[in-house]
Amino acid sequence: MDKFDEKILQELKNDGRISNIKLSERIGLSPSATFRRVQELERKRVIKGYRVILDPEQLQIGFVAFVTIGLSDHRRSSQLAFEQHVADVPEVVECHNVTGTHEYLLRVEATDLKHFQRIHSNVLGECPHVNAITTMVVMESSKDQRS
């Protein structure tokens, strides 16, 4: 990885839909050399994919919370069971195994408080391995690199 690859990654991070021509102009290489480098970064899985940024308001996502989950035991089978329990829940948009007083940190997006309460009670509260749930409601985000 050299300075050109780093520039490519920075530009793609800022605008994943930038044209190859514009990208090559910004980094100072020919379009063909730029294209080859992007393909190589993709082949090496440095670039794993491209995503779209959605407007939460247009999708009626009016409630975002970070939720910590404590498990009743620390066995790997309990962790896997919890991860499977939330894997197909669309409102759980992130699930991180973390250190500290709890095992998991979740990002949950819902339409409103009532919707979140259903997720809290019917999904998280129903998992047999969960023994502690702590919710932190996002009031405002001063920095969010996903948007």
- pLDDT tens series, the chain, 147 aa: 999 999 999 999 999 999 999 999 999 999 999 999 999 999 999 999 998 888 888 999 999 999 999 999 989 999 999 999 999 999 999 999 999 999 999 999 999 999 999 999 999 999 999 999 999 999 998 988 776
Q: Which domains does the chain have, with CATH numbers?
A: 3-44 (1.10.10.10), 56-137 (3.30.70.920)
b vs e for 38-68, b when ≥16 Cβ sit within 10 Å of the residue's Cβ?
beebeeeeebeeeeeeeeeeeeebebbbebb
- How far apart, in whole angstroms, are the C-alpha atoms of residue 74 and residue 60? 36
The answer to whether 67 and 123 are in contact (CB under 8 A) is no
